[in-house]
Amino acid sequence: MTQPLFEPFDFEKPIYTIQEKIEELMRISEETGVDFQSEIDKLSARAEAFRMNVYKNLQPKEKVQIARHPQRPSAIEVIRQLSPQTWFELHGDRAGQDDQAVVGGIIEFLDRPVMVVGTQKGRGMKENLVHNFGMPNPEGYRKAMRLFSHANKFGMPIVTLIDTPGAYPGIAAEQHGIGIAIAHNIREMARLRVPIVSIVLGEGCSGGALGIGVANEIYMLEHALYTVISPEGCASILWRSPEYAAQAAESLKITAQDLFAFEMIEGIIPEPLGGAHYDPQMTIESVRSSLLSSLTTLTQLSPEELVEQRYQKFRKIGAFEESVLTR
């Protein structure tokens, strides 16, 4: 490896500096015929130890960077790899729009048709304009709901893939009821009589994520995040400056490990060292195995059990004090 695969993040730069030194030594060794092998071995061992140390101790702000990496596997890539043979993409809200920030359709998984709905981020400006940077408008949530209802009618399990900086803050979004669209999805997803599994691929931001996130089981990729507000947004409100984003990321407890500790999610899906973008295929295979076990269990439950299990999952979330004297 001579060139980093990606523009390294600041916290990754020392890794590449050591790497460069090793390569330099190898080059000199080749040119001069002097044997530097023992130095090279030592440096390589140090480099590897350092790399492990960096990636195993990622700070929340570093995870935020990884979760937003442009080369991170997107919903469509996950869909195509999970079901290379079958992918019937379905479009539109049947009310005038096809919001491309939300993609969805029917795949085959576990030998059965499954409805997949996800928020889609683009790569590069052109794709991002099509997918609105993964920020749905109300029409996107209504499109999602239409597909959920379709799945409910035909008994298809639902998989949702979450990767969104949040619902779109725009004029038309407000005029068309972005809040109502999300609220309606939350209420109606709670009533669906088929299994629902949500996977947070990258960013799970705020109500924008919940609009497709009311699931029986939730899994997060190892470096994905789930948060009530973006760290930058939180910093500008509570610290009155976006410069405190790193501190907000820390305080908000948004990592997969945090949410697992809070018992809000069922599992963490491992990523390759450094993040999913270093090996998207392997990452998606990990997604596959989590989905396999989750759907295998959930498809055993009756429609009533599914609705009740989903209700109880969210019903128990909350931290408060209560004196027993009053009701």
Stretch that binds other proteins, among 9-17, 30-38, 145-153, 204-212 (CB under 8 A): 204-212
The residue whose two tokens read 């030592």 is 42
Query: Which long-range contacts (C-beta less than 8 Å, at least 24 apart) are formed by 245-248?
Result: 245/61, 245/64, 246/59, 246/60, 246/61
CB 197, CB 219: distance < 8 Å: yes
Shortest gap between Cβ of 9 and other proteins (angstroms)?
24
Nearer CB in complex with other proteins: 164/227: 227
Shortest gap between Cβ of 90 and other proteins (angstroms)?
24
Question: What is the token pair recorded at 218?
Answer: 């939730």
Distance (Å, rounded) from C-alpha 265 to C-alpha 249? 19
The residue whose two tokens read 């998984």 is 109
177: left (phi over 0), alpha (psi -120 to 50) or beta: left
Asked if 321 is part of the footprint of other proteins (rule: CB under 8 A), the reply reads yes
Distance (Å, rounded) from C-alpha 228 to C-alpha 206? 4
Distance (Å, rounded) from C-alpha 278 to C-alpha 150? 36
End-to-end Cα, the chain, rounded Å: 66
Residue of 195, 202, 233, 275 that binds other proteins (CB under 8 A): 233
Asked if 129 is part of the footprint of other proteins (rule: CB under 8 A), the reply reads no
Asked if 237 is part of the footprint of other proteins (rule: CB under 8 A), the reply reads yes
- Which of positions 264-293 make contact with other proteins (CB under 8 A)? 264
- What does the per-residue mask of binding to other proteins show for 239-258, with x meaning CB under 8 A? xx-------x--xxxx---x
Shortest gap between Cβ of 189 and other proteins (angstroms)?
8
- Which of positions 151-190 make contact with other proteins (CB under 8 A)? 167-171, 173-180, 182-184, 186-188, 190
Angle between helices 178-191 and 303-315 (to 10 degrees): 130
Shortest gap between Cβ of 93 and other proteins (angstroms)?
15
Shortest gap between Cβ of 7 and other proteins (angstroms)?
26
Question: What is the token pair recorded at 235?
Answer: 């910093």
Nearest by Cα to 160 from 203, 208, 104: 104
The 3-state DSSP class for residue 173 equals helix
Shortest gap between Cβ of 92 and other proteins (angstroms)?
20
Question: What is the token pair recorded at 212?
Answer: 């497709």
Nearer CB in complex with other proteins: 88/314: 314
Binding residues for other proteins, rule CB under 8 A, total 60
> CB 109: neighbour CB atoms within 10 A?
20
Nearer CB in complex with other proteins: 61/184: 184
Nearer CB in complex with other proteins: 25/264: 264
Binding residues for other proteins, per CB under 8 A?
167-171, 173-180, 182-184, 186-188, 190-191, 206-207, 210-211, 213-214, 226-229, 233-234, 237-240, 248, 251-254, 258-259, 262, 264, 310-311, 314-315, 317-323, 325-327
